[in-house]
Structure 1
Amino acid sequence: MSDNNFVNGQSYEPLRRLLSDSKIQELQTQIRVNSNIEETNWNEQTIKLQDLEQSSWQPKLLIAIDGDYSKSIIQNGYPGAEIGYITVSTVVILLEKVRELEKEQFVDPKKFRETEQPTSIDSLFVGCNVVLQGEDCAKSSMRKILYDELKKVQIFGETETMLDTYEYLLKERVASGRPSKCPHDNCNADYEFNIGEYKCNTCNGKLYSTDALRLHELLNSSGTSGEMYGQIKETFKKLQLIHLLRSFEQQPKYFSLLRDIAFFIEGTLAVFSTASWLAKPIRTELERLNTKVTEEFGSNLIILGIERTGSFVNHFSQIDVMQNGSNNNFPNQSAFLIANKYIKEHIVFNEHPEYVYLEDTSFGRKIFYKTKVGHRVVASIATYNNYQSNLETAFPAQFPRLVEILQLLDKLVSNRYENSVTPLATAHAEAAIPLNLGKSIFDKIAREIRANSNNK
């Protein structure tokens, strides 16, 4: 064995692996093992679709929201200079047109594509070592871009912008918020919540209402800012949902469409990281909007989050396999309504008696559902009052429009993307390769749906 091998470290690899194995074995003796694993008779634990009172309701529109981001190094004379490209796609599927096409013996692919109307928000955000003209650092540049981007998004020509939607939600944060620091590096004052652009009373530095999201704190000044881009994408998705709902409300002639729309958003119905405070005002706003829709039309909103990956998806896959290795332990067309106790014992370990899963950051409840053809779906259903969101219990009445949702999932689960639904598969494809940037589709669609309704 040559001395060079010792120098470059190669001769230590087998020893390093043995050391690693022994350390793993030692650690495993100290790790607590889930003692709750046992064969479960899921026929007894689940709600069967056939046992629920069936519904004849069919949505006219499906609206799906998904996003994507990528990052790229740019050449500006500084090392590691990076920009992030973020896309949030909203796809509207015209189900009445789909149902008409399904009556034909041969469906024209061109006509079928016309039933899907996509639009995208695309934004460029700066990262490490990228500074805009007139700004003094990458962080201030990113803050300006975030504020400006929200001003650009608008659903209908006469309704509020996404910035207006955000600033409406911000008001509750102002009323009950904990102070954060001024974003300027040379200032230790508390951040002063306000609307629009304004100045810090201490350092006179420029502030924006969007600084309250604190997303600029995720910018890595010496490396890649993937976490920041990902959290901007997720924040935009949640804001887009509320922006859509409020925009329909602000157009009285289109407000009635909300009773005939099912909204889908990729991922769980929760807000994480620095913008997690948004969850509370989102819950409050959803309750207000849902109350108005229920009073006028007699039905709750349908808002679903669909998870494609993560601990819940993995757990659902595990419990669908029997201990003898055979599949289909979980019955088709059955739903398991998940309570906090089950989450703590089986999915997210926590023995603290007062711990409630995502108590402060979510605005929905999770279910496991296995469709008629055997596809597994982890879905979050939006909740609109304290009873529905109480995770200590899991009754069907706590999951708004459960029957319609299960019936809808039976029809929409996608073969293209595992654990997803067709509208989100389309939205994901549009977000990955946006072909309809900034294209306004909602005025046209709303007019068309309303005209068809009046002609019936």
Structure 2
Amino acid sequence: MTVTGIQHETGEGLIALQSSKAIHDFEGTIETKDNSATKDTPPVVEVARNGWLPIRVVAIDGSTLTHKVKNGFPGAEASILMLSVVFIDITELASIVPHEIPSPRVFNDMDKATTLDGVLPGANVVRVGAPGDAPVTFFRSTVQDILSGTLDPAHETLLETLRAITVGRQADIACPIVDCKEKYKSGTGSYKCDCERKQTLFETDALRFHERFNELGSNGEVHGEVRRVTEVLSLINILRYFENEKRIHYLKNCAFVLDGPLAVFGQPAWIAPYVQREIQRISAKSLKHNGCDLLLFGIEKSGQYMTHFSDIDWTDERGPRSKFDSQTVIIPNAKYINRNIVFRPEDAKPSGIDTYFGRKVLYKTANGSHAVLNSAIVNSEGTDFHNTSPSAFPRLGDALNVLDHLSTYLYEDGFMPLVRAHAHAAIPLKQGAEILRSLFNLS
């Protein structure tokens, strides 16, 4: 829409907007939340607890740093991707006096980190010595290279993990080669398109990252999607490592924690049901061998659920975080979420059912911190987003024990394993930029 004849410097443009019928009509169509006394009561639940704690915690976190590349083309950029898997022996915490902040050296001595890294090209960046190459082709090949990495030389690659959990699936997408009329056909590794041009396709093209690649702007968002899938595949890769009969007993006394929600969004979200199925399979195997399901959860530090938790944990007399007692557990079902957190008709399809492999739990820890925990869906009961019974959350009490024991005062609503994982995965801005400059031989 083009507006002419408005003198913005005199304020006439603002007057025109204030009197605009379109603006008033738009305001009239916005549904507002009902904050009357009849609103939903937060679904507080009682969770059976004991003194169980794991021997070790495996925490996974990743980060990306996007930096401009000066190669003569406008908007040229690339991102460093760093993934960290931290193994923490929490028996070392037994010597720490309760309610005291331990020395950072204690944490440094009790964890062991494995990292996986790579560089993701963005707009106007191509490979050296590849005439006719395109930035999106370089990006596609780099994704293939990163997911061909392994966290342990004796174990399968992340790409092999993806292949194993999606075996038999054929991607129903357009060929990623520009102007190719063929349908994309899934293959292994790198191979040639069936069309007359015979250009290279990659197994990871099935994840559809290339569909979001922006040749005229920033690619920070799609690079973030690559990071997230790398985190999730690393988690499944590790679980598959431990399911070996010689190692499966470790699952009994191990907690696995992923930074952020247990979910996959965007173009690669189609893998979420396969991830969920694999978690359920390994959990069932653990239940058979160890007598217990997997203990796996994600921690969200921001977002709509955390905002909602802050809103409801409030009293006019005492202010924020004053309504609920410490160790309060709230499990919102699908109807409550639709009415109070993610606006949609209450009988609509449950929020997150296509993208999440975990269920939301709001928890106020023993030290009064807020946590939005994603409890992994490990059985068929958990797949019903209306079901908030204990059977849908078989290891929730153990997860809450871990949160209480390892919550840290160093950061608001912090959780020590993820603090350590982030410390290994975080890329200092100056250092990261220097790495990128050196990769592109920049001064």
TM-score relative to the length of structure 1? 0.85
User: Which residue is 1:340 aligned to?
Assistant: 334
Which of 314, 317, 322 is residue 307 of structure 2 equivalent to?
Answer: 314
- One-letter identity of the residue aligned with 1:71: T
CA 1:41–1:226: 2 relative to 1, 3 Å: closer
- 1:204-243 equivalences under 5 Å are 204-243=198-237
SS in 1 for 2:247: helix
**Contact 2:51–2:401 under 8 Å retained in 1:** no
- One-letter identity of the residue aligned with 1:128: A
- 1:244-393 equivalences under 5 Å are 244-250=238-244, 252-322=245-315, 326-327=319-320, 328-351=322-345, 353-393=347-387
- One-letter identity of the residue aligned with 2:423: A
**Contact 1:383–1:400 under 8 Å retained in 2:** no
SS in 1 for 2:425: helix
**Contact 1:173–1:277 under 8 Å retained in 2:** no
Q: Distance in 1 between matches of 2:254 and 2:39?
A: 36
Question: 1:357 Cα shift?
Answer: 1.0
**Contact 2:408–2:415 under 8 Å retained in 1:** yes
CA 1:17–1:169: 2 relative to 1, 3 Å: farther
SS in 2 for 1:244: helix
CA 1:172–1:276: 2 relative to 1, 3 Å: farther
Q: Which structure has greater helix proportion?
A: 1
Q: Distance in 2 between matches of 1:19 and 1:113?
A: 61
Q: Distance in 1 between matches of 2:135 and 2:247?
A: 42
Which of 427, 433, 438 is residue 433 of structure 1 equivalent to?
Answer: 427
Q: Distance in 1 between matches of 2:217 and 2:110?
A: 43
Q: Distance in 2 between matches of 1:371 and 1:75?
A: 48
User: Which residue is 1:30 aligned to?
Assistant: 29
Q: Deviations over 1:184-208 (max 9, x none)?
A: 0020211101221111112422111
User: Which residue is 1:162 aligned to?
Assistant: 158
Which of 60, 71, 83 is residue 78 of structure 2 equivalent to?
Answer: 83
CA 1:116–1:221: 2 relative to 1, 3 Å: same
User: Which residue is 1:63 aligned to?
Assistant: 58
Question: 1:254 Cα shift?
Answer: 2.8
User: Which residue is 1:11 aligned to?
Assistant: 9
**Contact 1:367–1:380 under 8 Å retained in 2:** yes
Please give the root-mean-square deviation of Cα atoms over the aligned residues, in Å.
Answer: 2.8
User: Which residue is 2:438 aligned to?
Assistant: none
Q: Distance in 1 between matches of 2:257 and 2:13?
A: 48
- One-letter identity of the residue aligned with 2:342: V
Question: 1:98 Cα shift?
Answer: 2.6
**Contact 1:197–1:209 under 8 Å retained in 2:** yes
Q: Deviations over 1:263-298 (max 9, x none)?
A: 111111111111001101111111110111110000
Q: Distance in 2 between matches of 1:400 and 1:299?
A: 8
Instruction: Identify which range, 350-359 or 212-221, moves more after superposition.
Output: 350-359
Q: Distance in 2 between matches of 1:122 and 1:168?
A: 22
**Contact 1:65–1:265 under 8 Å retained in 2:** yes
**Contact 1:193–1:212 under 8 Å retained in 2:** yes
Q: Distance in 1 between matches of 2:264 and 2:156?
A: 22
- One-letter identity of the residue aligned with 1:64: A
Instruction: Identify which range, 336-345 or 90-99, moves more after superposition.
Output: 90-99
- One-letter identity of the residue aligned with 2:144: Y
- One-letter identity of the residue aligned with 1:329: K
**Contact 2:87–2:111 under 8 Å retained in 1:** yes
**Contact 1:381–1:400 under 8 Å retained in 2:** no
Question: 1:367 Cα shift?
Answer: 0.7
CA 1:17–1:378: 2 relative to 1, 3 Å: farther
Q: Distance in 2 between matches of 1:162 and 1:128?
A: 26
Question: 1:312 Cα shift?
Answer: 0.6
Q: Distance in 2 between matches of 1:346 and 1:404?
A: 28
Question: 1:261 Cα shift?
Answer: 1.1
Q: Distance in 1 between matches of 2:7 and 2:422?
A: 44
Provide structure 1 residue ranges, at least 5 long, that are not aligned to the other structure.
1-6, 438-456
User: In the alignment, is residue 113 of structure 1 matched against residue 112 of structure 2?
Assistant: no
SS in 2 for 1:72: strand
User: Which residue is 1:401 aligned to?
Assistant: 395
Provide structure 2 residue ranges, at least 5 long, that are not aligned to the other structure.
433-443
User: Which residue is 2:146 aligned to?
Assistant: 149
- One-letter identity of the residue aligned with 1:66: D
**Contact 1:128–1:223 under 8 Å retained in 2:** yes
Question: 1:20 Cα shift?
Answer: 5.0
- One-letter identity of the residue aligned with 2:313: D
CA 1:40–1:423: 2 relative to 1, 3 Å: farther
Instruction: Identify which range, 333-342 or 19-28, moves more after superposition.
Output: 19-28
User: Which residue is 1:46 aligned to?
Assistant: 44
Question: 1:22 Cα shift?
Answer: 5.8
Q: Distance in 1 between matches of 2:7 and 2:220?
A: 32
Question: 1:172 Cα shift?
Answer: 4.8
Question: 1:334 Cα shift?
Answer: 1.1
Q: Distance in 1 between matches of 2:376 and 2:194?
A: 40
Q: Deviations over 1:1-25 (max 9, x none)?
A: xxxxxx997624x444455556666
Q: Distance in 1 between matches of 2:420 and 2:64?
A: 16
SS in 1 for 2:148: helix
Q: Distance in 2 between matches of 1:421 and 1:108?
A: 16
